[in-house]
Amino acid sequence: MIKMNIGFGDNDFSFAVYIANKPNMLEYQSLFEVTSLVKGEINVINQACGNGWRKVFNVYAKLLYALDKKHFDYSDITPTWQGYRDKYLLQTQSKTALLFSPPQLVPSVERVHIICGKGHAKALIDSGKLVANLSWLDDEFAIDRDNKLIVCPYFDYRQLSNIKIERLADLLSELVKLRIGFE
């Protein structure tokens, strides 16, 4: 049986973030595939679901802007992370996704996977929905280089501060350098 990715974003994503919960809005409770958001939809979710979702989207956009520009071109599209969040994040052809389903790890596919929260990663592993060779770097970050998978703190300002966003960006650059053969 083929498993489907479920969440928001570009179905042809190369950058995926996995989160345990969906926005508490009726229209998102029965998602069964990756659905591209449209301009303004992130704001609608923020208005309906509050500050927690605002933080998730903000941290996601800030992370994209912290990435090494040699390997990731998200910051070339618009001058600010806020502009990227509002006009491109999780939309068609953005190459980004926010998924509520477990990661589908296919090492030959050029995708980077980030699981938000140690608790979410542990739940996926304990349920058998995630099989990964995670090396814990410390109490908050883990990496599986072969599967291009990183576990990081939840996308919230207190848990994933700007300093930790920079660390996550460095880890992502390390994965890309391994993929393209840099030393």
pLDDT tens sequence across 17-65: 999 999 999 999 999 999 999 999 999 999 999 899 999 999 999 999 9
- Structure token pair of residue 166: 């920079």
pLDDT value of residue 70: 83
Residue 140 lies in a domain: yes
**Mean pLDDT over residues 12-17, rounded?**
94
pLDDT tens figures, 130-149? 999 999 999 999 999 999 99
Residue 1 lies in a domain: no
CA distance 106 to 46: 32
Kind and range of the H or E run holding 46:
helix 41-49
Residue 55 lies in a domain: yes
CA distance 30 to 90: 18
Residue 131 lies in a domain: yes
Q: What is the mean pLDDT of the chain?
A: 91
Sign of the dihedral through C-alpha 56, 29, 40, 114: positive
CATH number at residue 28: 3.40.470
Residue 2 lies in a domain: no
Give, as one character, the DSSP assignment of residue 106.
-
Residue 52 lies in a domain: yes
Statement: the pTM of the whole predicted model exceeds 0.85:
yes
Question: Domain total for the chain?
Answer: 1
Closest CA to 72 of 87, 84, 54, 57: 84
Domain that holds residue 137: 7-180
Q: Any idea what the Cα angle at residue 174 is, between residues 143 and 60, rounded to 5°?
A: 75
CA distance 94 to 98: 12
- Structure token pair of residue 124: 């996926």
124 SS3 class:
helix
